[in-house]
Structure 1
Amino acid sequence: MSSATATSPVGTTRHRPPPDPGARWGWAMACVWLVFMLFPVLDLLQTPRPLSQQVAGWVVVTLFVAVYVHGFVIADLGWMQRRLPSWWPVAGTAVLLVLSAAGVALQGLSSMGLFIYTSAYAMFLAPLRLASVVVGALVATTAALAAFVDAFSGGAFFVPVLVATVVTMAVARVLEDRRDLFRELGEEMALVAERERVARDVHDVLGHSLTVVVAKAELAERLVDLDPERAKAEIASIRSLSREALGEVRATVSGLRVARLGDELASAREALTSAGIVADVPTDPDVVDPRRRIVVAWVLREAVTNVVRHSGASRCSVELGDARLVVADDGRGGPHAPGNGLRGIGERVRAAGGTLTVSCGPEGGTRLEVAW
């Protein structure tokens, strides 16, 4: 995908998150510290040496800066990183170790700062175990040179500087790894939530629509000989309902499906009537708080679907209030094991700050109540 947006399989346009400036320009921050390479450069310019050593010193400094910058640029540009083998940070660390040793051998004390750059490269880019070994070896080497080699006796100050730098980089590395872990977990949780949303919405849409289609098909089957014209009307209604259900499924998968309470009241009345259940359903959705109408609409859809499918009721009533919904029937009642539908609407209600109660009615049947 070369554009900034990508079309998902379900037809929705998902925008990539904007690039993180810290990740995009992190290499520049790493390269700022190359200003301290001025010391080996000045040493090469001011200290007389044989031509071969001068050339070797410039080659070492140039290659060192190139490998150091290359590593941080690659790390911040993901598309470039994917083109390289996974072991490239290890190779870069090894090259910097060799160049650091060569620089110290050629220039002495003025190049001991290369150990700090190599430690930074290893700590930020190499595997953590390898980085620990490399950093430990460089600290030990710096301390040994300052303590036991006269030419490096003035380099004792490099030891605390290197230790402080390593500790700072280690903390930064741990925090960065934690941040990446939390980001990955957040993405996984968002993906799971999206899958649950799609599964819940598809269940609610298909469960209700197919239940009504079955009820209407059974009615049309009974009427085909008794009242052919009405049977044709029921078949036409089935066709229309099927097309509507298909559109709802597509909208649900794409994240655009929104239940409307007025439509659900009319649909509930039609579903109950088609199933031969006397429906006492209000017509005015405005009595419900506008903030809660979508949730009430979803709950009403699932509750009526369960009445039509499972209750064996002859009558069903729906009551609406500002912060209340009650669906009661005179069917079989009894204990209810929550299925996907009840779990789904329970999640919706809890997310909206309400409570869902399913119990036996005072005169039998089932009573479902949602309240805030």
Structure 2
Amino acid sequence: MTTVETPGQVEPPRAMGRLGPMFAAIWLAFLLDPVRAAWTDLPAAHAWLGLVATLVFAATYLALWIAVRTDRARLVQVPPLRTRLVWMAALSGLAAVMVAALGQVGTASVVYLAVTVVMLFPVAVFVPVVAALAVAVLVTGVALPGWEHSPWLAFSIIAASLAVFGVRSMMNRNLELIRAHETNAELAAEQVRNRLARDLHDILGHSLTVITIKAELAGRLFDADPERARAELTDLERLSRDALADVRRAVEGYRDLTLPGEIARARTALAAAQIDAALPNSTDEVPSEARELFAWAVREAVTNVVRHSGARHCEVRLSPHAVEVRDDGRGVPAGATHGSGLTGLQERATALGATLVTRSLDPGWSVAVVLR
């Protein structure tokens, strides 16, 4: 069974979706020192306060990480400012409680504060904040009685911030690529819809008008001229079948095999090449069995006119037995052979019992397919 992939649909990495929180929880191991210090001082009140604050801090940080990752999965780079400020206030308050209850060992939370600022705020905000946090742990380690100088903690703050900034930048680039992919997919889908609408209009617009007129005529002739009414009904059935076949081909993506579609395509191509075009307004008189062959003939001949002729005028002539494309360009040099396109067209014509006729005009060139 074939699986159809919808444009713009991105399959999420399911394994990472389950393991992501576990991966984030590993980095909470740096909070083991505050937990151990609090456990050692139990049952003192400050120890209980420090232990609870540390556990709640760890849970809050893990919840923030999961929330940010969920937002990224929805292509949201950062949550609203109010939400970011709430996260920062909650973690900062818990970190302050940890330091107040446990002393210097509680400053392990400062690394997570720095990482949180990097995750949630732009460069202009997090750079001075991270620098201030690093300076703060250095100053307090020297200024406060009983505290030790902690350059390693300051280094950890800077290193963790740089690492998270690199990850954040990579994720932002991935989000931009995903958005660009989705935008391209939407534009491609819109282009397909527009092309299909244009093709259906070109195919059905005239055909339905003719069908309506013939149906009205057959109704008026039903009593006055039954034989002519029967002929009109027979022609009406043929036109309906041809229009249905053209619509099916267009919907299936084979618009290059429909004669009305190729006439419309020729009009667009010639206008883009600034070549004056004289094209038929109707393809109804062409027999059903010849429409695909005539479509190939129009396609190949008009393509050659646009690419090679240097013409200023091109005309497509249709009849029940032939299609001809003529131009007033430079023609084909004497002794030149057919290209692969005309050779393929000749093979198609021969297979259906038709003849490919090419001839020079004064000026210009003519390509015709004639039914035998």
Question: What's 2:59 paired with?
Answer: 66
Q: Could you say which structure has the larger radius of gyration?
A: 2
Match of 1:149 among 140, 144, 149: 144
Superposed CA RMSD in Å reads: 5.0
- Does residue 99 (structure 1) correspond to residue 94 (structure 2)? The answer is yes
CA contact (8 A) 1:97 1:118 kept: yes
Residue correspondence of structure 1 range 109-128 to structure 2 within 5 A = 109-126=104-121
CA contact (8 A) 1:122 1:131 kept: yes
Residue correspondence of structure 1 range 294-333 to structure 2 within 5 A = 299=299, 313=317, 316-317=323-324, 323-324=340-341
Tell me how far apart the structure 1 counterparts of residues 172 and 30 of structure 2 sit (CA, whole Å).
28
Shift of 1:52: 1.6
Match of 2:31 among 32, 37, 62: 37
Shift of 1:297: 10
Tell me how far apart the structure 2 counterparts of residues 273 and 244 of structure 1 sit (CA, whole Å).
16
Shift of 1:200: 1.6
What runs of 5+ residues in structure 2 fail to find an aligned partner? Answer: 264-279, 304-313, 326-337, 346-360
CA contact (8 A) 1:24 1:77 kept: no
Tell me how far apart the structure 1 counterparts of residues 154 and 262 of structure 2 sit (CA, whole Å).
78
Distance change >3 Å, CA 283–CA 247, structure 1 → 2: closer
> Matched residue of 2:146: which SS?
helix
Tell me how far apart the structure 2 counterparts of residues 266 and 203 of structure 1 sit (CA, whole Å).
11
CA contact (8 A) 2:138 2:149 kept: no
Tell me how far apart the structure 1 counterparts of residues 22 and 115 of structure 2 sit (CA, whole Å).
14
CA contact (8 A) 1:273 1:279 kept: no
> Matched residue of 1:152: which SS?
coil
> More displaced, 34-43 or 71-80?
71-80
Tell me how far apart the structure 1 counterparts of residues 22 and 55 of structure 2 sit (CA, whole Å).
18
CA contact (8 A) 2:134 2:154 kept: yes
What runs of 5+ residues in structure 1 fail to find an aligned partner? Answer: 7-11, 286-294, 304-309, 329-360
CA contact (8 A) 2:204 2:243 kept: yes
> Matched residue of 1:153: which SS?
coil
> More displaced, 87-96 or 63-72?
87-96
Shift of 1:138: 1.8
Shift of 1:41: 1.2
Shift of 1:16: 4.8
Residue correspondence of structure 1 range 143-222 to structure 2 within 5 A = 143-214=138-209
Question: What's 1:227 paired with?
Answer: 228
Distance change >3 Å, CA 152–CA 219, structure 1 → 2: same
Tell me how far apart the structure 1 counterparts of residues 69 and 298 of structure 2 sit (CA, whole Å).
46
Distance change >3 Å, CA 144–CA 246, structure 1 → 2: same
Question: What's 2:12 paired with?
Answer: 19
CA contact (8 A) 2:54 2:98 kept: yes
Tell me how far apart the structure 2 counterparts of residues 323 and 34 of structure 1 sit (CA, whole Å).
69
Shift of 1:283: 7.3
Deviations along 1:115-148, one digit per CA (max 9) or x if unpaired, are 1112222322456555445433322322222343
Shift of 1:232: 0.9
Distance change >3 Å, CA 258–CA 112, structure 1 → 2: same
Deviations along 1:260-283, one digit per CA (max 9) or x if unpaired, are 87x6479989x9985557999697
> Matched residue of 2:186: which SS?
helix
Tell me how far apart the structure 2 counterparts of residues 138 and 237 of structure 1 sit (CA, whole Å).
83
Question: What's 2:238 paired with?
Answer: 237
TM-score when scaled to structure 1?
0.62
> Matched residue of 1:316: which SS?
strand
Tell me how far apart the structure 1 counterparts of residues 134 and 113 of structure 2 sit (CA, whole Å).
11
Amino acid at match of 1:68: Y
- Does residue 56 (structure 1) correspond to residue 49 (structure 2)? The answer is yes
Tell me how far apart the structure 2 counterparts of residues 50 and 196 of structure 1 sit (CA, whole Å).
71
Amino acid at match of 1:67: T
TM-score when scaled to structure 2?
0.62
